[in-house]
Amino acid sequence: MATEDIEPATKSQRLDEGTRKTVVRVVRHSLLLTWSFVVLFPLYWLVSMSLKPPGLANSLPPDWIFLPTVYNYIQLLQREEFLMAFANSIIMVTASVILVLLIGVPAAYVLSRYDVPMQRDVLVWILSSRMLPPIAVVIPFFVIFRELNLFDTRIGMVIMYVSINLSLVVWVMKAFFDGIPETLEEAARVDGATQFQGFLKVVLPAAKPGIFSVAIISFIFAWIELLFGLVLTSFEAVPVTLFVYSFIGSRSIEWSMLAAASTAMIVPVVVFLIAVNKYLAAGLSFGVVIKE
């Protein structure tokens, strides 16, 4: 009799547990879908605005149903200033990312593996370049660039972008190198590899997620930078952000062209993200390799 009382209770408990898991799953997916909608809605709004005719771009209430047109993109591609600014940004930002990795990654490795005198002070000094607000340093940079004939040059903007991102690369990559066991390099040296070969063939491949992570973050920081481009360029080295900003006038805003240019700006970042996607998730976790 006691066994008959227990069995229905067990079945009911199992049913309740299964129902509870289903409810939790439904609530979890609902929250994720809601959050995805909140995150992606601004992007949808931007793209939809770029596909509306100029007269409907900022209409109130907004037209949710409309006939898409690429008129704004055609107008954008016919403007030589946009193509020049876009090419400037591609060249300057790509060159700055390559240069900042060539400088920052070896520097982080040295700070991680060697007993550098006053290492903590050196790290804080490197980080201090990111502590000041950009508006506090833009005027000294303007004076220096003008004296060195770097004003409104691509080389000057590359140097500017490198100075912005160098501290990020050094600090993040040092954390990665700290997490890579030194025993890997010792094993390579036992097999006859030099210190440099160990760094090149053992450490760098293990740190690849971190390198791609700082590369994409450095690319985004340089790609969306506006203030330094506004002050340190005038015509030859104008970045695409400054061209996009030109659609915001003192009396009116060209919403449709602004949306089309902003959408075009997103494309290189999305392409870069897709290209390094498999490394990005592991790199941002900072825990892909555990030091023994």
Q: Is the dihedral of CA 67, 73, 76, 78 positive or negative?
A: negative
CA angle 45, 49, 51 (to 5 degrees): 125
- Determine contact, residues 269/263, Cβ cutoff 8 Å: no
Label residue 139 exposed, middle or buried (CB < 10 Å: 0-12, 13-18, 19+).
exposed
Q: Give pLDDT, residue 30.
A: 92
* Mean pLDDT, rounded, for 12-28: 78
Task: Please report which confidence band the pLDDT of residue 285 belongs to, taking 50, 70 and 90 as the band edges.
Answer: low
Percentages helix, strand, coil for the chain, rounded to the nearest 5?
75, 0, 25
Task: Please report which confidence band the pLDDT of residue 1 belongs to, taking 50, 70 and 90 as the band edges.
Answer: very low
Q: Give pLDDT, residue 196.
A: 84
Q: Give pLDDT, residue 153.
A: 93
| Per-residue pLDDT at 291 exceeds 80 | no
SS (H, E, C) 3-36: HHHHHHHHHHHHHHHHHHHHHHHHHHHHHHHHHH
Cis link prior to 68 (omega < 30° from 0)?
no
One-letter identity of residue 133: P
pTM for the model: 0.81
Residues 6+ apart with CB under 8 A from 269: 219, 220, 223
Q: Give pLDDT, residue 31.
A: 94
